[in-house]
Structure 1
């Protein structure tokens, strides 16, 4: 499983400062779509790493499962939103939208002292979110 390990990019936050964490999972329809998506995922990862307000980030790829996951922490929602709207992220989203079998996102808050955000916690939150969507539970 190719992984870009957690990169702590902002070391100056107080341990009790709150950060916004986003975990995402993308599943593709076909295996043939994986190489191009993976290259674009790395491009977006580089973009995010240079974005103002990013605290830390990581990327996991499960190519044979056609699945990609991101985990990132941000000083605030505005910083995350600004990266989301910037290029190349916007172009990548448009290019790969038809390839998506599914995509999901969860947002939660941690204290800076609790970083790095854990993959086990992110997987659990994504699974709970997916189960809630299937049952119609709005929580």
Structure 2
């Protein structure tokens, strides 16, 4: 399972930071390699984005499931990243091969970064359990 561990890219300036985590599932394993390549590109973009504090990516290739976790100065920084290229056009292209996407936004104490994958997946599981069946649980499908 390819995993890019947490990479700190900035220093928090507040006691709490805005985090975003996602679970993205492709429709077919045939789509997994291309989705991984796109995810890596967006991981690199996120690392260089204004307001980014840290990023991580985990790919369960044989299940076609991708996990992302990032921390930011604020939600505006997340949305600026999501609205810029190549993220914006990559999301539009990859949405066609996705079965499901779950996104969670939450605050975390800056001194606790990074959270464990166990904690990240727990938060995503809670969101998935509270969402309606067969419905996308996020505003946009985002590979990273």
TM-score, normalised on structure 2?
0.89
Whole-angstrom CA distance in 2 between matches of 1:32 and 1:20: 34
Is 1:30 aligned to residue 28 of structure 2? yes
1:64 Cα deviation after fit = 0.5
1:78 Cα deviation after fit = 0.6
Q: Counterpart of 1:117?
A: 115
1:134 Cα deviation after fit = 3.7
Secondary structure of residue in 2 paired with 1:71: strand
**Greater helix percent: which structure?**
1
Q: Counterpart of 2:2?
A: 2
1:118 Cα deviation after fit = 1.9
Whole-angstrom CA distance in 2 between matches of 1:32 and 1:41: 15
Secondary structure of residue in 2 paired with 1:117: coil
1:117 Cα deviation after fit = 2.1
1:46 Cα deviation after fit = 0.3
1:98 Cα deviation after fit = 1.1
Is 1:128 aligned to residue 134 of structure 2? no
> What root-mean-square deviation, in Å, do the aligned CA atoms of Structure 1 and Structure 2 show?
1.2
Whole-angstrom CA distance in 2 between matches of 1:85 and 1:117: 25
Runs of 4+ in 1 over 3 A off after TM superposition: none
Number of equivalent positions: 133
Secondary structure of residue in 2 paired with 1:65: coil
**Match of residue 45, structure 1, among 43, 46, 49:** 43
